[in-house]
Amino acid sequence: MVKVTAAEVNKLRQATGAGMMDCKKALVEAEGDFDKAIDVLRKKGQKVAANRADRDSSEGAAVAKVNDANTEGVSIVLGCETDFVGKNENFVALANRIADIAMTVDTKEELLASDFDGLTVADKLVEQTGVIGEKLEIKDFSKLQAPYVGSYVHINKIAALVGLSAVVDNGDVLAKDLAMQVASMGASTLSYKDFDPAFVASETEARIAVIEKDNIELGRLGKTLKNVPQYISMAQLTPEVLAAAEENAKAELKAEGKPEQIWDKIIPGKMERYISDNTTLDQEQCLLDQKFIKDEKVTVAKYVESFDGVSVTGFTRVALG
């Protein structure tokens, strides 16, 4: 049996990240040939990867990178099988290294084919599957370009990027705040104006059906019933709908005997509540229409307006799971 030195084992370990005993065994099997030993470890990774192909890689690390000019950002999710591995500093370092490479490409497919110290990224993941013993894969990939791009990463579980239309004073603060909003509230589009009318209609029908079903059970239990909205998006609140809602509010005030001279002070609050009750879809899915997490008295759109000469051009969000 060929003898291998500690220095040779350490060199292979540094190159591959494999454990000392795995490196020693690989060098012995390769009769001391360094390149062949790497091949031995790679084949081990392929075998492990094949055996774990059907495993669920729902844990891992979400990473975001932005270039020095703040004009382009990328975010990825490197998936693994357990939270223990996902929190490992070497695994997080691997995710960051892959994210650095991702800055040079435009698609996940290009990333997997990119060079990683003489291997493709795809082959590196196979190699590290053998080292770590868990299925590894790029679960998500997104890229964003804008005159200014900011990012936010939440404990390596969620990574968000936000693009602004211009470079402005305190734009870094705005971009980070918005990226935190995206990470926290999980918007799927910028504004209710982006919704397809057919989607809004079907979603309205589905949500009303769910509330009405819940109310049957609540009524049976003698509990307070949920409000059944007529609408769920500002896209449905036409000038005619809002005018009718205002007339209904005035009729209610008249029926309550409220003096007409104070209606102007009450109506705005009633209309605000009406709009809030009938735009639940917007509040859930539209970034600009959500309540700002740092000040729920204003919408995200209003917060952005406090920064002169800038708008949001887009955003991305990647997350584990």
Range of the domain at 292: 193-303
SS3 call for 240? helix
CATH of the domain at 157: 3.30.479.20
DSSP string, 73-112: EEEEEEEES-HHHHT-HHHHHHHHHHHHHHTT-SSHHHHH
- For tokens 């495993």, the residue is 55
Q: Quick one: which of 183, 170, 206, 220 has its CA closest to 280?
A: 206
Query: Which of the listed residues 51, 67, 82 is the one where a domain comes to its end?
Result: 51
| Cβ-contact 172, 73 below 8 angstroms | no
Q: How far, in Å, are 158, 205, 308 from residue 218 at the CA level? A: 36, 20, 48
Indicate the average pLDDT of the chain: 90
* 28 and 109 belong to one structural domain: no
Work out the pLDDT band at 306, boundaries 50, 70, 90: very high
204 and 139, same structural domain?
no
Q: Is residue 51 over pLDDT 60?
A: no
User: What is the model's pLDDT at position 7?
Assistant: 82
Question: Residue 319: enclosing H or E segment and its boundaries?
Answer: strand 312-319
Mean of the pLDDT values across residues 7-26? 74
Size of the chain in residues: 321
pLDDT greater than 90 at residue 43: no
**What is the C-alpha separation between 101 and 103, in angstroms, rounded?**
5
For residues 276 and 290, what is the distance between their CA atoms, to the nearest angstrom? 10
Q: Judge whether 69 lies within some domain.
A: yes
**Which residue is it, tokens 């009524």?**
219
Q: Which two tokens stand for residue 119?
A: 């291997």
Average pLDDT over residues 85-91: 90
Q: Is 310 helix (H, G, I), strand (E, B) or coil?
A: coil
Q: Is residue 308 part of a domain?
A: no
Residue 107 lies in a domain: yes
CB count within 10 Å of CB 191 equals: 18
- Of 167, 190, 213, which residue constitutes the final position of a domain? 190
Q: Kindly report the pTM of this predicted structure.
A: 0.78
